[in-house]
Amino acid sequence: MPALTSSTAIGITAAVIIAATGGTSLLAETAVPGDALYTVKTNVNESVRGSLAFSTSAEAEFNADLALRRLDEINALAEEDRLTSTVRAELQQEFEEHAEASVALAEKAGEEGDNKDAAEVMASFVLELGAQEEVMVETGKAKDTVKAQLDVIVAVIHATRREAARTEKELRVAAEAEVESESDVTVEAEENIDAAQTLITEIRMLTAQSIKTSAEVKADITAKLSDATVKLNDARTEFSTKAYAEAKALAEQAAKIGAEAELMLKNTFNARSDDDASVESESSVGTESNVKIEVESNVDVQSENNVGVDL
């Protein structure tokens, strides 16, 4: 199942939350640690969001979102002078766990062949982390009382952003390789389809024109070519749905069956050639025998004449 777009997922999330809580959970979205609705935010709202992650890339995006939400809470507490070292440490730990999970899931999505979407998740995460880092720095400048706490988290954000950027780059390279590979397969599939069609057409024409091929053999060749045509049509169908690897394989099968039909036709020609050569050889042997007999007869006659002279 394809991953939901962010806007669609948010809309569904809001609808589910409103239906389940009558609006309380929406109010909890701005809650921070220490607020009465904070557990609703983390236990209800975020659980609902997580249930809408239907792919590995979507799970990576969900964890990136959770990591960013923890940073939002740190900054909100800092602006209100409510950020203690204990709360900062707890939120930092959660941030790191979700950030690491997001990167790991993005890498897993890449292994599953979803490099493009996973790269986009990491690209967005990198940008958001950069924005959060700038906000934290500015808040630290304005709030001397929490600057030390924010300096710690800024260093963590910076390291996380670097790791996410590295992952994004790897996924981008893999995604580009996928596109290039798909392009190669597309060309190969198209070439195989054309080659199979040419072979089938030529063998069908040669079979129809052959006067040396028996009706029985022609029927067998025609049956082979029909099987090849079925495979070729299947290849075209797969190609039209952009299943290029499958199309390539089916076209190869069509060509193989066509080659078998071609071999049957060649064997017919070879058998005819052997028969013709055999008849010609027998005729030549008969002629040689006649010549030999004639020569021997002449020799006998000549011998008799010679004997007469001697007498």
pLDDT band at 21 (very low <50, low <70, confident <90, very high): low
Q: Yes or no: say if 196 and 254 are a contact pair by the CB < 8 Å rule.
A: yes
Contacts of 64 (CB under 8 A, 6+ apart): 98, 99, 102, 121, 124, 125, 128
Task: Kindly tell me if the per-residue pLDDT of 44 is higher than 50.
Answer: yes
Q: How far apart are CA 200 and CA 135, in angstroms?
A: 68
Mean pLDDT value of segment 27-55: 92
Where does the pLDDT of residue 279 fall: very low under 50, low under 70, confident under 90, or very high at 90 and above?
A: very low
Look at residue 84 and tell me whether its pLDDT is greater than 70.
yes
Task: Report DSSP state, residue 35.
Answer: S
Closest C-alpha to 95, from 78, 71, 79: 71
Q: What is the mean pLDDT of residues 129-133?
A: 97
Main-chain dihedrals φ then ψ at residue 50, nearest 5 degrees: -65, -35
Q: Distance between CA 216 and CA 222 in Å, rounded?
A: 10
CB atoms under 10 Å from CB of 265, counted, come to 20
| CA dist., res. 63 & res. 72, Å (int) | 14
pLDDT at 99: 98
Dihedral sign (CA 251, 252, 253, 256): positive
Can you tell me the mean pLDDT for 260-284? 63
Domain boundaries, the chain: 6-180
- Give the side-chain half-sphere CA count within 13 A for 221: 26
Among 31-35, 44-48, 260-264, 276-280, whose mean pLDDT is lowest? 276-280
Taking the C-alpha atoms of residue 266 and residue 287, their distance in angstroms, rounded to an integer, is 32
Give the CA diameter of the chain: 156
pLDDT higher for 105 or 266?
A: 105
Q: pLDDT value at position 22? A: 52
Q: How far apart are CA 308 and CA 311, in angstroms?
A: 5
Helical residues (DSSP H) of the chain, grouped into ranges: 6-21, 24-28, 38-40, 46-51, 56-79, 85-111, 115-142, 147-209, 215-240, 244-310
Percent of the chain with pLDDT over 90: 55
| Of the candidate ranges 13-27, 28-42, 232-246, the one whose mean pLDDT is the lowest | 13-27
Half-sphere exposure of 165 (CA within 13 A, CB side): 11
Q: What are phi and psi of 5, to 5 degrees?
A: -70, 160
Q: Is the overall model pTM greater than 0.85, yes or no?
A: no
What is the mean pLDDT of the segment spanning 211-237? Answer: 89
Instruction: Please tell me the least confidently modeled range out of 197-206, 216-225, 255-264, 273-282.
Output: 273-282
Rounded to whole angstroms, how far apart are CA atoms 212 and 74? 90
The pLDDT value given to residue 268: 79
Q: How many residues does the chain have?
A: 311
